[in-house]
C-alpha cells in the first residue's frame, strides 16, 4: 500500500475558499479517478514562519504502478485546475510513503 501525501500551506486570504473547494470538489475528483481507495484530510498543527495554514491530504493507493498511472493520466489536469484557481496563494509539496505495517489499539 502506498500513501500519496500532498502537504499545502494556504494563504489566510483564501483559506475558507480553498478548504471548501478541497472538501467538495478536489478530493472527490481525485478519488473519482478510481486510483485511490481513501483520502484523509488533516490540519498540520504547527505555526509556519511564513504564515498561512498548513494541511496534508493522504491518499491511499494499492501500488506504485497505480500511483504512476495517476501521475500520467490525471495529475496534470487536477494540478492545473488548482494552480489556475489559487495561483501563488498555495504552496504544495508531495511525498510518497510506503506502508510497511499498521497497528491499532481499541480504547474503552
Q: What is the pTM of this model?
A: 0.90
Q: Which of 39, 26, 23, 42 is nearest to 74 (CA)?
A: 26
Domains of the chain: 12-93 (3.30.70)
What value does the mean pLDDT take over residues 87-107? 94
Give the whole-angstrom CA distance, residue 31 versus residue 26: 9
pLDDT in tens, 23-65: 999 999 999 999 999 999 999 998 877 789 999 999 999 999 9
Q: Which helix (H) or strand (E) holds 54?
A: strand 53-61
Most distant pair of Cα atoms in the chain: their distance = 47
Q: Are 22 and 74 spatial neighbours (Cβ–Cβ below 8 Å)?
A: no
Amino acid at each position: 500500500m502506498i500513501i500519496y501525501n500532498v502537504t499545502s500551506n494556504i494563504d489566510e486570504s483564501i483559506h475558507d475558499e480553498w478548504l471548501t473547494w478541497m472538501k467538495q470538489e478536489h478530493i472527490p475528483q481525485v478519488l473519482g479517478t478510481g486510483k485511490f481507495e481513501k483520502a484523509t484530510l488533516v490540519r498540520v498543527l504547527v505555526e509556519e514562519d511564513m504564515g498561512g495554514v498548513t494541511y496534508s491530504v493522504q491518499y491511499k493507493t494499492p501500488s506504485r504502478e497505480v500511483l504512476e498511472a495517476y501521475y500520467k493520466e490525471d495529475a496534470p489536469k487536477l494540478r492545473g485546475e488548482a494552480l489556475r484557481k489559487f495561483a501563488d496563494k498555495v504552496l504544495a509539496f508531495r511525498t510518497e510513503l510506503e506502508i510497511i505495517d499498521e497497528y491499532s489499539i481499541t480504547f474503552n
